[in-house]
Amino acid sequence: MSEIRREQENQMSRIIRVVGLGLATTGAWAQSWEIGPTLPTGGPAKTYCVAVNLSGTLYALGGTPWTAGGDGTVYSYTPGSIGWVEELSFDGIGPVLGQGGGIDALGRILIFGGEDTDNPGQSGPTFDWDVDEGPWHELALRSPAAPLRGFASCADADGRIYSLGGGPGELANSSSRNSNHVERYLAGVDTWETLAPMPAAAADAAAVYDGMGHILVIGGISEIGTTRLTFVQQYDIATDTWSLSAVADLPVGVSSARAIVGADGKIYLVGGRDG
């Protein structure tokens, strides 16, 4: 639990807009935040969860606080409704931290990776989570080369889900390095395929599909854990190639942030740590 507390204490309220990545737009957009409904955890912060949007409903899946049985909790929220609703948990999966996920090509919520805290060094299972069944089908694991934790994940326009980099993050060193390994999940054949590695290893980076045929891996922690990265690594889906120069660097190095395409077509980097 001390690791979770440190994560919460180190979170900062930085918001960085990655200028120039968005589609051309016109008109003014309001620059403001509004407070949404509180997650019904009974008080503890919801940490290490996977967030997805399925058909307009938002889901916060897995992570703490655990259920009484030690499984990840799940909540859903439909914009315009009164608040979040507790859903079926990750029943039987156990206390796994650091999972990734997304909506796959079959329209399922896919959960993968993470580390079983009851069995350190062991990966959490890959499975689809169903609103009526909870964890439903056990699916293919990533290869042993994929780090258990610290990887970034996102889905492209075709529902292919990516696992990008990863590793021990700030705890990395010359003997236990962060990774540049990349895999992609193909739902139709239940297979992970290995793609071209990133030019630079990164853990605790943000990842997002830019809507223009590229996956962006933004910031993160360097290979041996000494630096927060400023660069944006761009993956060209059509050619299976990477570039470190196609997108301008961030103004500061950032890790543990999240990235999303806004209503204005620009990519926003939210939260995380710098310095």
Q: How far apart are the first and last CA of the chain?
A: 24
**What are the structure tokens assigned to 176, written together?**
């236990």
Kindly indicate the confidence band of residue 14, based on its pLDDT and cuts at 50, 70 and 90: very low
Better pLDDT: 53 or 4: 53
Give yes or no for residue 244 having a pLDDT over 90: yes
Per-residue pLDDT tens for 65-107?
A: 999 999 999 999 999 999 999 999 999 999 999 999 999 999 9
pTM for the predicted model, two decimal places: 0.89
Yes or no: say if 64 and 5 are a contact pair by the CB < 8 Å rule. Answer: no
In eight-state DSSP terms, residue 5 is H
Residues contacting residue 191 through CB under 8 Å, at least 6 positions apart: 140, 185
Look at residue 172 and tell me if it is in a domain. yes
158: domain range? 2-25+49-274
Q: Strand 214-218's sheet: what is its strand order?
A: 206-209, 214-218, 232-236, 241-243
Position 97 scores a pLDDT of 98
Per-residue pLDDT tens for 183-210?
A: 999 999 999 999 999 999 999 999 999 9
Position 25 scores a pLDDT of 35
State the Cα–Cα distance between residues 205 and 23, nearest whole angstrom: 23
Better pLDDT: 233 or 1: 233
Residues contacting residue 195 through CB under 8 Å, at least 6 positions apart: 162, 182, 183, 184, 235, 240
Give yes or no for residue 3 having a pLDDT over 60: no
CA atoms within 13 A on the CB side of 13: 1
Look at residue 129 and tell me if it is in a domain. yes
Look at residue 60 and tell me if it is in a domain. yes
Position 85 scores a pLDDT of 97
What are the angstrom distances between the C-alpha of 123 and each of 31, 111, 116, 247?
A: 40, 12, 6, 33
In eight-state DSSP terms, residue 41 is S
Kindly indicate the confidence band of residue 33, based on its pLDDT and cuts at 50, 70 and 90: confident
Yes or no: say if 38 and 45 are a contact pair by the CB < 8 Å rule. Answer: no
Section 172-186 average pLDDT: 99
Question: How does 92-101 read in b/e, with b if 16+ C-beta sit within 10 Å?
Answer: ebbbbbbbbb
Kindly indicate the confidence band of residue 9, based on its pLDDT and cuts at 50, 70 and 90: very low
CATH number of the domain that residue 202 is part of? 2.120.10.80
Section 108-130 average pLDDT: 97
Kindly indicate the confidence band of residue 120, based on its pLDDT and cuts at 50, 70 and 90: very high
In eight-state DSSP terms, residue 3 is H
Look at residue 118 and tell me if it is in a domain. yes
Position 110 scores a pLDDT of 99
Section 237-255 average pLDDT: 98
Number of domains in the chain: 1
Give yes or no for residue 27 having a pLDDT over 80: no
Yes or no: say if 182 and 164 are a contact pair by the CB < 8 Å rule. Answer: yes
Look at residue 224 and tell me if it is in a domain. yes
**Number of CB atoms found within 10 A of residue 24's CB:** 5
Section 218-242 average pLDDT: 99
Look at residue 139 and tell me if it is in a domain. yes
Position 2 scores a pLDDT of 38
Kindly indicate the confidence band of residue 34, based on its pLDDT and cuts at 50, 70 and 90: confident
Position 275 scores a pLDDT of 79
Look at residue 250 and tell me if it is in a domain. yes
